[in-house]
């Protein structure tokens, strides 16, 4: 029996994780569930999964949940705040931590799980984007087991030998092929994107995701963040990673070997597949996912990404090449930009313009200290908001 903490349990990854766990009550038990502010959904999860602990961001929401759990006769202890997130991540009762908090908020609790030597199922790409060198150093130092859950990175992981540390050249890999669906605006020209609405941007053709990651997918920033993440996970650089637009989202990514072989992982676009892989590794368990029907798929298409219409991918590659705190600044500016877009205060094309301007204004700092990274994250957000205020809704 493995005990699991799910960070970000009310989001799409968190709910899919609990679905897989519920299919195997003889293998997994939930220790803690955490949410940002979705107290009603978290209460429903407490009723079903009976965690020992539940965490919300603010004490007001925690007090409401505490009362509801008490009235329902649940033994769940309800706590609040950032420190509580870190505590449930390193709890000695826990073997597995699903890191599914979206954005920079997931960095510290995920890092706490790593430093406690847990098996960390990494769905929070920002942890590596912001602090890749520090994070991977902590994984090695504390002997944590890090398994990628993003479908693309999980696919690459499955296409590599089990021991792939020491660089891709050591295992004969010449290139990683990171697939992208292209999002809901595949084939659109730059001038057409100016009038895109949040509802359109969140209507992904293949995947069911939260609003923030849906917008990132539409701008191709999600693929840019994944490129940065892949550099750290697989000890490579941006030049060794090719992004391939694959609208069907059936091939989740590939590894090209120097002998001419290309290994691919295929499956239906359902996050329960990589989640089940991470929970059961090195075994395999049933995940509730339909078997892929190649006759129904019928065809697989590929094309190059349009970086003129969607420059976020190029900005991410440049930030990773610049190094230091540049990826953290990229991520912070993007989070502010997406929030403004979803609130109707910034156009869709204004997202990449804001990220570009913030990157231009912040020279990369050394990323050897976590405090420096967090300070640059804070400054980049403030700078992005200053730009928004000066623009006054004109972009």
Binding residues: 10-13, 37, 124-126, 150-152, 181, 204, 210, 217, 222-223, 226
Q: CA 155, CA 269: separation in Å to the nearest integer?
A: 12
Q: CA 218, CA 306: separation in Å to the nearest integer?
A: 12
For residue 260, is it left (φ>0), alpha (ψ between -120 and 50) or beta? left
What SS3 string covers 263-329? EEEECCCCCHHHHHHHHHCCCCCCCCCCCCCHHHHCCCCCECCCCCCCCHHHHHHHHHHHCCCHHHH
Binding-site members for 1-deoxy-D-xylulose 5-phosphate are 125, 151-152, 181, 204, 217, 222-223, 226
Q: CA 345, CA 199: separation in Å to the nearest integer?
A: 14
HSE-CB at 299 with a 13 A cutoff on CA atoms is 3
Strand arrangement, sheet containing 28-34: 77-80, 53-56, 28-34, 2-7, 96-99, 119-122, 145-148
At residue 206, the 3 state secondary structure works out as: coil
Please choose, from the candidates 278, 273, 375, 341, the residue with its C-alpha nearest in 3D space to the C-alpha of residue 2: 278
HSE-CB at 92 with a 13 A cutoff on CA atoms is 0
Binding-site members for Mn(2+) are 150, 152, 226
At residue 248, the 3 state secondary structure works out as: coil
- The answer to whether 256 touches 169, Cβ cutoff 8 Å, is no
Give Cα separations from 80 to 17, 101, 158, 288, 365 (angstroms): 22, 15, 37, 33, 33
For the record, the structure tokens of 284 come out as 């395999």
Binding-site members for NADPH are 10-13, 37, 124, 126, 210
Phi, psi of 300 (to 5 degrees): -130, 120
């Amino acid at each position: 029996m493995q005990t699991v903490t799910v960070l970000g349990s009310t989001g799409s990854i968190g709910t899919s994780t609990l679905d897989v766990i519920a299919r195997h009550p003889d293998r997994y038990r939930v220790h803690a569930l955490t949410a940002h502010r979705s107290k009603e959904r978290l209460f429903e999860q407490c009723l079903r999964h009976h965690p020992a602990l539940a965490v919300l961001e603010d004490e007001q929401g925690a007090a409401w949940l505490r009362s509801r759990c008490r009235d329902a006769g649940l033994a769940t202890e309800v706590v609040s705040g950032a420190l509580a997130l870190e505590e449930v991540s390193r709890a000695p009762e826990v073997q597995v931590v699903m890191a599914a908090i979206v954005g920079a908020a997931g960095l510290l609790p995920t890092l706490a799980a790593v430093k406690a030597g847990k098996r960390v199922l990494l769905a929070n790409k920002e942890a590596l984007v912001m602090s890749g060198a520090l994070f991977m150093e902590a994984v090695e130092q504390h002997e944590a087991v890090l398994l990628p859950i993003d479908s693309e990175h999980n696919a690459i992981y499955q296409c590599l030998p089990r021991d792939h540390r020491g660089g891709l050249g050591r295992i004969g890999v010449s290139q990683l092929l990171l697939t992208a669906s292209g999002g809901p605006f595949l084939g659109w020209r730059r001038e057409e994107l100016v009038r895109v609405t949040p509802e359109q941007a969140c209507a992904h053709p293949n995947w069911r995701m939260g609003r923030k990651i849906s917008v990132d997918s539409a701008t191709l920033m999600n693929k840019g963040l994944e490129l940065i993440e892949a550099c750290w996970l697989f000890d490579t650089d941006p030049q060794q990673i090719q992004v391939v637009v694959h609208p069907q989202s059936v091939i989740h990514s590939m590894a090209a070997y120097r002998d001419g072989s290309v290994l691919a992982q295929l499956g239906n676009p359902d996050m329960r597949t990589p989640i089940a892989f991470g929970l059961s590794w090195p075994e395999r368990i049933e995940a509730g996912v339909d078997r892929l029907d190649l006759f129904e798929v019928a065809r697989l298409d590929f094309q190059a990404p349009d970086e003129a219409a969607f420059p976020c991918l190029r900005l991410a590659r440049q930030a990773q090449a610049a190094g230091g705190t540049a990826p953290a600044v990229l991520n912070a500016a993007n989070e502010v930009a997406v929030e403004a877009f979803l609130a109707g205060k910034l156009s869709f094309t204004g997202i990449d313009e804001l990220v570009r301007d913030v990157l231009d204004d912040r020279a990369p700092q050394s990323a050897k200290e976590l405090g420096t990274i967090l300070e640059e994250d804070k400054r980049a957000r403030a700078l992005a908001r200053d730009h928004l205020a000066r623009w006054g809704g004109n972009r």
